[in-house]
Structure 1
Amino acid sequence: MAGRIVRRGAAVALGAVWWCSVLRLAFVPGAGVLEGTIAAGGWGLSLLPVHCVPKSRAAGAVGSDRWWAYWREAWRRRGSGQGNGEGPGAAPGVG
């Protein structure tokens, strides 16, 4: 419980610092490199895929052993002419 409070408090504090730097860049003529660095860094952090989970916890994730088996089987089907009908120009339901 305490860890959650600390994380949220840090997120709020860093968010406030980021907003202050963005507002200074927008409205204060003397804003400089520090404010720009903070604003760009915060924007870059917003691009991180924080909604991702490790493959071991993801629902429906295929392990590396199954992944290789899948592609081996796909190459065998392709070489044998069986195909799966999903290639470019393939007619639906034919394969």
Structure 2
Amino acid sequence: MKNLLYKPFGLIAGVAGGLVAGWAFKQVWRLSTGDDDAPDATDADKGWGEILTAAALQGAIFAIVKAAIDRGGAAGVRRLSGGSGRR
């Protein structure tokens, strides 16, 4: 039953989380490099180091946002369904 309750929330939260993570990555990239956009993997004007750094940073930010949303959503569903508090 809890999974059924979480599915619609999880879908909406996932989309919102992707938007938030994309925005957060752009802000971090802009602050750390001064560039408005991160390099594309096929950008011939950028070196391996910059491209791989951008990819690693983007992946880390997306993973953190996803984990926070999943954890918060699961805790919210537990509270709403009468489950125990923190785990």
- TM-score category by the smaller chain? 0.3 to 0.5
Relative to the length of structure 1, the TM-score reads 0.35
Relative to the length of structure 2, the TM-score reads 0.37
Higher helix fraction (1 or 2) = 2
Higher relative contact order (CA 8 A, sep 6+): 2
Larger radius of gyration: 1
